[in-house]
């Protein structure tokens, strides 16, 4: 046993920053159950979409247009920002919020004396470091395809590329934060994923179509995210109008409440 | 500011209730620095709950506690920085290797913990399997990996809750050797167990807990000091021997055992003198005496006596 009060000389190579965040990333990136579905829902979805459209085009070019161009790019980014990317973010967030609990490692981490808040906060960049590269690659597939497979169609502008890129990353990040918080609150990965997928798919769609709810629908996550979208939704009749400031407030509340309940539960939970 | 107390753990009136159920009831515990301390009690006595409070895993309902001279939970970060613990079964990310699991644990510790990974793997004999997934480990290997994780902090205090669960006899022997080497290095060990024999073999200080309360506490020699002596008699006719020694005023209790008799002496009786006297009585009665083995009442006997008495009181 070394002297407790003596300073231990640690080589510079091991004085690495973000050790807890790297540990979170390690847990996620080594889990096939996390990164394979994430890759399929992001990169896979874009590859399948563009491949399918291009095959249709090649088989009957008079009926089906090229896979590239602005319109298909807008559809692709909307698919990513409002559906597949959100589900991928829910999967990663649920895993990040629950994996220490389900494996029994949370207890051991807490017994090191590390602040529970620090343990929770490390999951935010740790999980995003896995999720966002997949979203970015998927976006790159869409962006490159929109130009390479454009045929004679107009291609998206640089401004649109930048805006949509930021939007899909933001959308995934917001859902990740909500999933992380909910996972930390509930403690069960399966329950967290079920709740989020149910909310993101049928429940939101039903609520946003109940017009008598009026402004109450502004609180829906997809409505607030959609307001920030630089591309119009595929169905223009399905738009819930709201101001930009309302959208930002709603999203801040989703993130704040999501992470807040997760942090609170992590600190209060018996380990 | 920490004070270098004689005790590495001190609790006062520590209590934990779950609704109406009191799991830990006013525990005053003193664990001397550098000791191997056994925390003994039957299942459900509140041992794990006490350990969970000491490690900041759950909050006490009442009372105070200090670990390494620091108040818990207020100074938990400093208090637990050099504490290694296994609570119940150690948990791991099974999809990661043993080395990766240690890397994750080291990330929550001081940076120097990363430097100890190879050494602790070597110490618990897992170097060859360090890069295999934990899902392929036997329960004994996981237990050893849990011990390796404890050692990452170069702990001054080790708290192990039922650490020999799942170990085969060979593993238990290895574990005992490991524990003795820790104690020789000046570390303090707290071993929570219901296996009395295990505690007796490893520990020099003991607290006996029952239904959330400490019913006896001290060094093994202190706890044995008030004990009556015992003599185990191996002979050819235990039934006849029972009659032969009947009426011996130095004996408090006589029981038949498989190979003969076991007698408990009154506190004032001298173990050696009574042994000689019993030998004379038995030989005089024509009984072949194979063996007379004087001993002190074991911790186990005392433990059972205490818990039985408590059971009778309720």
What's the whole-number average pLDDT of chain A?
A: 92
pLDDT of residue B306: 62
- Alpha carbon of A138: minimum distance to chain B alpha carbons (Å): 26
pLDDT of residue B166: 73
pLDDT, one tens digit per residue, over B200-234 is 888 989 999 888 898 888 888 777 655 567 888 99
Contacts 24+ apart (CB under 8 A), A10-14: A10/B111, A10/B112, A10/B114, A10/B115, A11/B115, A14/B111, A14/B114, A14/B115
Q: Which residue has better confidence, B65 or B296?
A: B65
Interface predicted TM-score (ipTM): 0.88
Task: Show residues of chain A in contact with B1, CB under 8 Å.
Answer: none
pLDDT of residue A13: 58
Residue B19 contacts A, CB cutoff 8 Å: no
pLDDT of residue A124: 97
Lowest mean per-residue pLDDT among A4-13, A132-141, B22-31? A4-13
Closest residue to A270, CB basis, from B58, B100, B109: B58
pLDDT, one tens digit per residue, over A31-42 is 999 999 999 999
Size of interface A-B (CB pairs under 8 A): 107
pLDDT, one tens digit per residue, over A210-220 is 888 888 888 99
Residue B152, pLDDT above cutoff 60: yes
CB contact under 8 A, B103 and A23: yes
CB contact under 8 A, B114 and A99: no
pLDDT, one tens digit per residue, over B228-276 is 678 889 999 998 999 999 888 889 888 888 778 988 888 778 888 899 9
Contacts of A140 (CB under 8 A, 6+ apart): none
Residue A14, pLDDT above cutoff 80: no
pLDDT, one tens digit per residue, over B84-101 is 999 988 999 999 999 999
Residue in chain A nearest B79 by alpha carbon: A113
Q: Which residue has better confidence, A80 or B172?
A: A80
- Alpha carbon of B289: minimum distance to chain A alpha carbons (Å): 51
pLDDT of residue A4: 45
Map out the domains of chain B with their CATH numbers.
7-219 (3.40.50.300), 228-296 (3.30.70.920)
Distance from the first to the final alpha carbon of chain A: 28
Q: Which residue has better confidence, B42 or A87?
A: A87
Token code pair at residue A188: 């069960």
Residue A10, pLDDT above cutoff 80: no
**Are A95 and A31 within 8 A, CB to CB?**
yes
Closest residue by Cα to residue B208 from B298, B304, B65: B304
Percent of chain B with pLDDT over 70: 91
Percent of chain A with pLDDT over 90: 82
Closest residue by Cα to residue A134 from A40, A233, A270, A22: A40
- Identify the DSSP state of B97: B
Residue B249: HSE in the Cβ half-sphere, 13 Å Cα cutoff: 1
Provide the H-helix boundaries in chain B: 47-54, 76-80, 98-107, 117-123, 139-151, 169-184, 196-202, 220-225, 238-245, 271-284, 299-313
Q: Which residue has better confidence, B190 or A241?
A: B190
- Identify the DSSP state of B259: T
Provide the residue ranges of all domains of chain A, joining segments of one domain with +. Answer: 18-266
What's the whole-number average pLDDT of chain B?
A: 88
Residue in chain B nearest A33 by alpha carbon: B95
């Amino acid at each position: 046993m070394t002297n407790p009060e003596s300073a231990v000389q640690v080589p510079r190579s091991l004085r690495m920053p973000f050790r807890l965040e790297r540990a979170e990333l390690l847990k996620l990136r080594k889990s096939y159950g996390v990164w394979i579905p994430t890759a399929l829902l992001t990169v896979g979805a874009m590859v399948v979409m563009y491949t399918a459209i291009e095959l249709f085009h090649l088989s009957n070019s008079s009926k089906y247009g090229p896979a590239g161009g602005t319109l298909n790019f807008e559809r692709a980014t909307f698919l990513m920002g409002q559906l597949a990317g959100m589900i991928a973010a829910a999967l990663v967030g649920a895993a990040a919020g629950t994996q220490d609990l389900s494996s029994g490692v949370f207890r051991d981490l807490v017994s090191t004396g590390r602040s529970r808040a620090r343990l929770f906060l490390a999951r935010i960049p740790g999980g995003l470091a896995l999720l966002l590269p997949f979203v970015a690659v998927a976006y790159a597939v869409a962006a490159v395809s929109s130009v390479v497979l454009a045929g004679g169609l107009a291609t998206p502008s640089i401004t649109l590329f930048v805006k949509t890129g930021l939007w899909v990353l933001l959308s995934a990040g917001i859902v990740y934060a909500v999933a992380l918080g909910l996972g930390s609150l509930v403690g069960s990965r399966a329950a967290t994923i079920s709740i989020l997928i149910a909310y993101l798919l049928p429940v939101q769609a039903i609520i946003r179509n109940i017009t008598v709810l009026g402004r109450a629908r502004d609180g829906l996550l997809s409505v607030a995210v959609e307001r920030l979208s630089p591309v119009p939704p595929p169905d223009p009749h399905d738009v819930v109008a709201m101001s930009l400031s309302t959208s930002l407030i709603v999203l801040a509340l989703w993130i704040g409440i999501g992470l807040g309940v997760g942090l609170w539960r992590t600190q209060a939970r018996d380990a | 500011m920490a004070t270098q107390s004689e005790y590495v753990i001190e609790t006062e009136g520590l209590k934990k209730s779950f609704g109406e159920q009191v799991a830990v009831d006013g525990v005053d515990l003193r664990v001397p620095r550098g000791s191997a301390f056994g925390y003994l009690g039957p299942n459900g006595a509140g041992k794990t709950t006490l350990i969970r409070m000491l490690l900041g895993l759950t909050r006490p309902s009442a009372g105070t506690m200090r670990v390494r001279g620091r108040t818990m939970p207020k100074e938990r970060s400093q208090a637990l920085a050099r504490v290694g613990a296994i609570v119940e079964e150690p948990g791991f990310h099974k999809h990661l290797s043993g080395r990766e699991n240690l890397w994750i644990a080291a990330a929550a510790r001081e940076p120097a913990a990363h430097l100890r990974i190879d050494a602790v793997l070597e110490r618990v004999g897992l170097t060859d399997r360090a890069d295999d997934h934990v899902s392929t480990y036997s329960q004994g290997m996981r237990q050893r990996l849990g011990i390796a994780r404890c050692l990452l902090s170069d702990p001054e205090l080790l708290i192990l809750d039922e650490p020999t669960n799942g170990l085969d006899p060979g593993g238990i022997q290895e574990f005992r050797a490991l524990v003795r080497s820790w104690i020789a290095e000046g570390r303090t060990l707290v071993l929570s167990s219901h296996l009395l024999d295990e505690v007796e073999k490893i520990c020099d200080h003991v607290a006996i807990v029952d239904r959330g309360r400490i019913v006896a506490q001290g060094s093994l020699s202190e706890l044995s000091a008030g004990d009556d002596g015992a003599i185990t008699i191996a002979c050819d006719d235990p039934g006849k021997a029972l009659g032969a020694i009947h009426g011996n005023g130095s004996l408090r209790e006589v029981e038949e055992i498989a190979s003969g008799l076991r007698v408990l002496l009154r506190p004032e009786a001298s173990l050696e003198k009574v042994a000689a006297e019993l030998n004379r009585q038995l030989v005089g009665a024509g009984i072949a005496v194979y063996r007379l083995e004087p001993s002190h009442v074991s911790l186990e006997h005392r433990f059972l006596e205490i818990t039985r008495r408590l059971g009778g009181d309720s």
